[in-house]
């Protein structure tokens, strides 16, 4: 989509965001017409225009007033499911807690397309998420139970109800140490690895999509929301995946450089490795590699430039930089029971750009000095390997990422390490190519001048030595002649 089309989508999205949900569909029908690409872009912009650009899903707090959508009001039925509560809303779908009445009674999560949003591309994306979840069978990924369509033709699917909180919030409320956070993160990597083995790339890994729930008294992370997943399997891609050229897909703070590319066509599993690296960075430091506030203030082009070109500081460096920030404890105290959420708000500290070093350290049961010391070295290099702009230098799989973290926890040598001098020099040359070129030309000129002067000096020195040698020989011959004359006269 060109600049003009992007401006049009932005104007439509800004107006749509201010409309009641019941009026939004009709407005989008009139504003977008038959242009499905424009409508999908508008939906994504509306979804990301809330208080936090990194959290496009709206979560309903207890006591909030809910305007029921046609056919999905509280107490209404969809097939054998009774709607109990609205859990959250995204750009084109809503998630409800529902009660399954047969053949077994249980609480489930029911995701359904909003009225007026059932265009070909949105239905394809919705079906892609359902199909992606149906392909997977892992304790760390929410399961799909059922699928269908309402009497009005709106597609829906039913999945496991995940009772949990974002992994960052859980770790902070429970005051987990860095080692405990890493152990929980390793389980997340295993779930992502399972998705990759099934040919699915998540493309939106972030705290609100990794919920921690309790199972048999222990925390278990579950990866949710495969709404913008991409299939690496050709058959699935052709039938259910639609990605518009130039579409900005993902959450900026957690997005890989490849995703920030205007074409965003060459995406593979290493994109998820990058997002996992951002998540680990946040678990360890309390903030994301790039300042969320700065990303929210920046325009699309600047966001893309930052993600693609700027190198974030190492975790230990970032923690040290937080020392000057004021203390603002924003994390709630631990609750006795987890809340029911599908994509709850992420850490408030990140939403506001970070917290003080003392607060961050306290959430990790340590002090600032020991926290910086714990991050320096292996953890710095492990995280930065996952965040490398060059994806060929990242971990080649989520399992290898997890394996390196296990080696760190076991005090074994890790694969990650500081980049070589040759690699650093190459990065320097690529980053400052123009300056390096000018400096190289200048150095060549200086070197050439020095060589020329040296050659002229050598030539002059050789000429002088030749002249001295010839003069010496002439003097020798003259001396011999004089000696001969003197001898003749003496005779």
Residues annotated as catalytic are 204
Paired tokens of 17: 């965001």
Task: For residue 18, give the 3-state DSSP assignment.
Answer: coil
Task: Count CA atoms closer than 13 A to 354's CA, side-chain side.
Answer: 25
Sequential DSSP letters for 22-85: HHHHHHHHHHHTT-HHHHHHHHHHHHT-SS-TT--SEEPPTT----PPTT-STT-EETTEEEEE
Question: Residue with structure tokens 């430039």?
Answer: 305
* Cα dist from 83 to 64, 71, 266, 344, whole Å: 16, 10, 40, 20
Residue 367 CB partners (closer than 8 Å, separation 6+): 361
Distance separating alpha carbons of residues 351 and 292, to the nearest angstrom = 7
Distance separating alpha carbons of residues 92 and 113, to the nearest angstrom = 6
Distance separating alpha carbons of residues 69 and 39, to the nearest angstrom = 20
Q: What is the number of other CB atoms lying within 10 angstroms of the CB of residue 244?
A: 16
Exposure string of 251-274, with b = 16+ CB inside 10 Å and e = fewer, is: bbbbbbbbbbeeebeebebbbbbb
Task: For residue 245, give the 3-state DSSP assignment.
Answer: coil
Q: In the chain, count H helices and then E strands.
A: 18, 12
């Amino acid at each position: 989509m060109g600049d003009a089309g992007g401006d049009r989508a932005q104007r439509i999205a800004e107006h749509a965001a201010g409309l009641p949900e019941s009026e939004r569909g009709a407005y989008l029908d009139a504003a977008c017409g038959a242009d499905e690409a424009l409508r999908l872009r508008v939906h994504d912009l509306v979804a990301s225009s809330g208080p936090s650009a990194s959290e496009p899903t709206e979560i309903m707090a207890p006591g909030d007033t809910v305007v029921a959508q046609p056919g999905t009001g509280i107490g209404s039925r969809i097939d054998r499911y009774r709607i109990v509560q609205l859990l959250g809303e995204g750009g084109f779908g809503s998630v409800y807690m529902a009660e399954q009445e047969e053949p077994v009674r249980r609480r489930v999560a029911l995701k359904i397309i909003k009225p007026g949003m059932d265009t070909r591309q949105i239905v394809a994306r919705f079906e892609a998420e359902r199909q992606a979840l149906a392909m997977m069978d892992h304790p760390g990924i929410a399961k799909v139970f059922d699928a269908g369509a309402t009497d009005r033709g709106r597609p829906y699917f039913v999945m496991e109800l995940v009772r949990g909180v974002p992994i960052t919030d859980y770790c902070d409320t429970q005051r987990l140490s860095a080692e405990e956070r890493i152990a929980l993160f390793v389980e997340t990597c295993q779930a992502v690895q399972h998705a990759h083995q099934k040919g699915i790339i998540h493309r939106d890994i972030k705290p609100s999509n990794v919920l921690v729930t309790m199972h048999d008294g222990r925390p278990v992370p579950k990866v949710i929301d495969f709404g913008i997943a991409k299939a690496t399997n050709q058959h699935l891609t052709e039938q259910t995946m639609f990605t518009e050229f130039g579409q900005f897909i993902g959450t900026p703070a957690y997005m890989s450089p490849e995703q920030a590319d205007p074409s965003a066509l060459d995406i593979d599993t290493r994109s998820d490795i990058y997002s996992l690296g951002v998540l680990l960075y946040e678990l360890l430091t309390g903030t994301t590699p790039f300042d969320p506030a700065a990303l929210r203030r920046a325009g699309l082009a600047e966001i893309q430039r930052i993600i693609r070109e700027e190198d974030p500081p190492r975790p230990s460096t970032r923690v040290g930089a937080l020392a000057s920030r004021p203390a603002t404890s924003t994390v709630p105290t631990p609750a006795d029971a987890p809340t029911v959420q599908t994509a709850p708000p992420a850490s408030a500290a990140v939403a506001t750009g970070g917290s003080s070093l003392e607060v961050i350290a306290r959430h990790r049961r340590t002090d600032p000095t020991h926290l910086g010391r714990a991050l320096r070295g292996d953890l710095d290099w492990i995280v930065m390997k996952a965040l490398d702009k060059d994806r060929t230098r990242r971990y080649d799989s989520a399992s290898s990422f997890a394996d390196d973290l296990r080696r760190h926890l076991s005090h074994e040598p890790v694969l990650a390490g500081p980049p070589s001098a040759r690699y650093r020099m190459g990065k320097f040359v690529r980053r400052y190519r123009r300056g390096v070129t000018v400096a190289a030309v200048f150095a060549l000129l200086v070197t050439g001048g020095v060589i020329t002067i040296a050659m002229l000096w050598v030539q002059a020195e050789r000429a002088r030595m030749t002249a001295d040698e010839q003069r010496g020989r002439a003097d020798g011959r003259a001396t011999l002649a004089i000696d001969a004359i003197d001898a003749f006269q003496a005779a």
